[in-house]
Amino acid sequence: MTETLQALEGTTAGEHVALLLALMSAIAHACFGALQKGRHDPWVTRGAIDAWIALLAAPVALFLVPWPVGMEWAVLVGALGIHFCYKLTMALAYERAAYTVVYPVVRGSGPLITLAFAAIFLGEHYGPWQWLGVAILSAAILALAGVNLRGAPVDPRALKAGLAWAFAGGMLVAVYTTYDAWGIRLTPDPFTFLAWFFFITALDFPVLMGVKLWRGTTSVAGEVRGLMLRGVIGALVAFVSFGGVMLGTRIGKVGEVAALRETSTVFAALIGWAVLGEKVGRLRAALMAGVALGAVMVQAG
């Protein structure tokens, strides 16, 4: 598998595979966000998901792939810090505001910065058409958040705090997307990076969840079975979501993969409509079309 990926790097076929991985990741990430924002405490839900991620990734990391060496350990520690901060902001945002408000803000505030980071730090080049496409995509996503905001019955102070944390999460999306792309390109075997990434970065929130349970600041009484089921499903979805986009950035351009992945907001809106009973309406449909148009412009550029 590693040889196949390496053979695809820098080829037209590799670009096509990278885009398919990004689209698959977009669908999975919309599902992942909805899972974390369910009826359970988002801190506990994320802790349950991460516990299953660590449990499932451990045998692969420890016994099936080569272990990291030298600088690769430092890269993984850096990923742990960045992703912990991202998960922290997401839990704080979901704790204070609605999923359909928070999720588009997080995804909409990151693509332009990701494109800039990829150009500055990874030496990738993008044309004016692609920059315009990402601008349209980001504007449509943020406008979608604004539309969702109008019907959100929530305390104004909590809403402001939720939006602030959501914007912080969006900035960290750009940071971790660029950093993870650099890390997986730096590691000769991409599956070494993926396996150890999932194992190491999943150790923090189960500990945090345990502390909250021990202190009595949250409870899972009567919900353990449902929470564990949500955790294992979330772990499997996370492998597709984060693993897919990282493999995509290994063989394709980071900005293009990241832009296509942000079509996850379209899938999130569809989940809100089909699962949560939310109305879509003409305006939301038009904005979702704007997201898709922006992503297409980035690829066509």
63 DSSP 8-state letter: I
Q: What is the pTM of this model?
A: 0.82
Measure the CA–CA gap between 237 and 248, rounded to whole angstroms. Answer: 16
**Among the ranges 26-30, 59-63, 165-169, 246-250, which has the highest mean pLDDT value?**
59-63
Of residues 283 and 68, more confidence is placed in 68
Total domains present in the chain: 1
Structural domain for 183, as ranges: 2-300
Q: What does the block give as tokens for 64?
A: 């099936």
Measure the CA–CA gap between 29 and 27, rounded to whole angstroms. Answer: 6
Of residues 218 and 71, more confidence is placed in 71
- The reported pLDDT for the residue numbered 6 is 76
Alpha helix stretches (DSSP H) within the chain: 2-8, 12-36, 42-59, 71-96, 99-108, 111-121, 128-150, 156-186, 190-201, 204-215, 224-251, 254-261, 264-274, 281-300
Measure the CA–CA gap between 61 and 199, rounded to whole angstroms. Answer: 7
pLDDT tens for residues 4-38?
A: 777 787 788 888 888 899 889 888 887 877 776 55
Q: What does the block give as tokens for 6?
A: 């390496």
pLDDT tens for residues 229-257?
A: 888 998 999 999 889 999 999 988 888 88
- Residue 151 — pLDDT band, cuts 50, 70, 90? low
Phi, psi torsion values for 171, nearest 5 degrees: -65, -40
- Residue 65 — pLDDT band, cuts 50, 70, 90? very high
pLDDT tens for residues 105-122?
A: 887 777 777 888 888 888
- The alpha carbon torsion through 150, 155, 158, 162 (nearest 10 deg) reads -20
- Residue 172 — pLDDT band, cuts 50, 70, 90? very high
Cα dist. 10→22, 88, 113 in Å? 17, 35, 23
Q: What is the largest CA-CA distance in the chain?
A: 55
**Which residue, among 291, 298, 212, 230, has the nearest Cα to 26 in the 3D structure?**
291
Tell me the CA end-to-end span of the chain in Å, nearest whole number: 30
Which of 3-17, 60-74, 195-209 comes out lowest in average pLDDT?
A: 3-17
Measure the CA–CA gap between 290 and 120, rounded to whole angstroms. Answer: 27
Q: What percent of the chain has pLDDT over 70?
A: 88
Mean local confidence (pLDDT), 32-52: 76
Sequence-ordered list of residues with C-beta below 8 angstroms from that of 168, at least 6 positions apart, any chain: 89
